[in-house]
Structure 1
Amino acid sequence: MRVPLRWVLWDVKDTLLKVRSSVGEQYCKEAERMGLSLSPVEVDAAFRQAYRRYSSRYPNYGITQGLDGQSWWMGVVRDTFSQCRVQDPTLLNTLAQNLYHNFCNAENWEVFPDSRKALESCSSLGLKLGVVSNFDCRLEAILRVCGLRSYFSFLITSEEAGVAKPNPVIFDQALQKCGAAPAGVAHVGDHYVNDYLCSRSVGIHGILLDRHNKQNQPDVPREHRLGSLEELLSCLQQHVD
């Protein structure tokens, strides 16, 4: 017997919204305010190195190692600029503090053109919506300034949950908030492992958003894949195997 769909859970970054310009450009803009002239390409490369290093050494914002989202990100920023020959500790701390708060501003984020309509369509069908995101505690403020917070009954971030996708425990926490069986829940996200495989591992109906047609995993049936959120409604209506 088919269980009716009651909830749709959502990933956020690169699913509903994205960073508006490159990290290198945004970091250089803040550095320029501090009197520094740096190359966005160099800063972008340094950021990727710092981000990988911190993600490996301090996974999920280092919360099991005494860090939190803010201290983790400030470390990434300081490390990034240090690689670009900025050595003054006071200046590094100021840059880190400012950039951490800057990313709560709407101008740093771009909501995809199909996001609001997809959320509204789900709500019009009587589906309840929640968020499951590998993000820090700024997510609520970001969704609010981007005009998306009101669509969701709850948010679960990996910082607050204490675990990150692809650990299925974060989806177990979401199911508890939904008060629904996994068969009555779908999840939409752009990451094959974190979103699609992880949600399906606990019985949720994972749907993979592949905006650029770059994900070629043969184990994802066509009916579980979206090229854009405009396809979501028809997918939900015929979803579920």
Structure 2
Amino acid sequence: MTGSVVLWDFDGTLAFRDGRWRGSLVEALDEVAPGQGVVAADVRPGLRDGFPWHRPETGHPDLNSPDAWWDALQPLFVKAYVGAGVDDRRAALAAGRVRAHYTDVSRWTVFPDSLAALEELAEAGWLHVIVSNHVPELDGLLRDLGLDRHFAAVVNSALVGWEKPHPRIFEAALDRAGRPERVWMVGDNPVADIAGAQALGIPGILVTPGRDDGLRPAVRRILNERGLPEISPEGL
């Protein structure tokens, strides 16, 4: 692909969903039962464990289709609703609508400096690859948000079957990138993004988009460290 590649996290790094997962559950419930009165804080406890990325040491190659991936999450959503006081019938109905609400592109926002960061690095010769723990519809979200043209490849845990920080998803990203000579990982999660990449010898940059300088520190660091040592196959 190229000698210089930046691996990017997506959610929380380049863009975010208003209300996140708990917001999508509340929206789905309001569709089924308007005026239910359940708020994001009510469903939050039930979502603290049960997503694939909560068990990154365990692969899920069996969830190899979007429907299978979402079907596996239905019990989690129902549990969150029931824990918030919703009856079983309404909980099941709302759980079936979470997918449509979570992937509604109108609820997603690209951080103000994301495009500028991607374009500045691209002008300097860096190619971009997404490495994300996400839903199967990530490619569609990137397209609808106008971000897809900036990326040479998208490595999505829902399709790869492994979650960050597991080495296998990073290995998949390096393979898709053509085993480049120079690689950076940029993300907002110190464990999934940074520690996961560093375990394979990939330097990582922790960012806080939407606050302070956003992605500017990452761009400056990547552009200023032109002498970054090449990553040898033995280090991977």
- Give the TM bin, normalised by the shorter chain: 0.7 to 0.9
Native 8 Å contact 2:53 2:133 kept in 1: no
Which structure 2 residues correspond to residues 144-223 of structure 1 after superposition, within 5 A? 144-181=143-180, 183-211=181-209
Partners of 1:192 and 1:25 in 2: how far apart?
24
SS in 2 for 1:12: coil
Partners of 2:126 and 2:149 in 1: how far apart?
14
Match of 2:232 in 1: none
Match of 1:71 in 2: 71
Letter in 1 for 2:172: Q
Match of 1:98 in 2: 97
Cα displacement (A) at 1:77: 2.0
Which structure 2 residues correspond to residues 113-152 of structure 1 after superposition, within 5 A? 113-152=112-151
Partners of 1:207 and 1:227 in 2: how far apart?
13
TM-score, normalised on structure 2?
0.81
Partners of 2:132 and 2:5 in 1: how far apart?
16
Q: 1:45 aligns with which of 39, 42, 58?
A: 42
Distance change in 2, residues 1:45/1:116 (3 Å):
same
SS in 2 for 1:107: helix
Cα displacement (A) at 1:93: 3.3
Partners of 2:224 and 2:165 in 1: how far apart?
26
Partners of 1:234 and 1:187 in 2: how far apart?
14
Letter in 2 for 1:238: N
Distance change in 2, residues 1:94/1:145 (3 Å):
farther
Match of 1:216 in 2: none
Q: Which has the higher helix share?
A: 1
Distance change in 2, residues 1:104/1:134 (3 Å):
same
Partners of 2:214 and 2:130 in 1: how far apart?
18
Native 8 Å contact 1:74 1:100 kept in 2: no
Cα displacement (A) at 1:11: 0.3
Match of 1:80 in 2: 80
Where do 5+ consecutive residues of structure 2 fail to align? 230-236
Native 8 Å contact 1:16 1:111 kept in 2: yes
Native 8 Å contact 2:6 2:129 kept in 1: yes
Residue 210 of structure 2 is aligned to residue 237 of structure 1:
no
Cα displacement (A) at 1:129: 0.8
Partners of 2:9 and 2:53 in 1: how far apart?
24
Q: Deviations over 1:13-69 (max 9, x none)?
A: 10011121354444333323323423354x4332x3222231489736983676942
Q: 2:6 aligns with which of 8, 20, 23?
A: 8
Native 8 Å contact 2:127 2:151 kept in 1: yes
Native 8 Å contact 1:189 1:209 kept in 2: yes
Root-mean-square deviation (CA, aligned residues, Å) is 2.9
Q: RCO (CA 8 Å, sep 6+): is it higher in 1 or 2?
A: 2
Distance change in 2, residues 1:172/1:15 (3 Å):
same
Distance change in 2, residues 1:72/1:170 (3 Å):
same
Overall identity of the aligned pairs, in %: 24
Which structure 2 residues correspond to residues 50-65 of structure 1 after superposition, within 5 A? 50-55=46-51, 59=55, 63=60
Where do 5+ consecutive residues of structure 1 fail to align? 214-225
Distance change in 2, residues 1:167/1:145 (3 Å):
same
SS in 2 for 1:54: coil
Native 8 Å contact 1:31 1:37 kept in 2: no
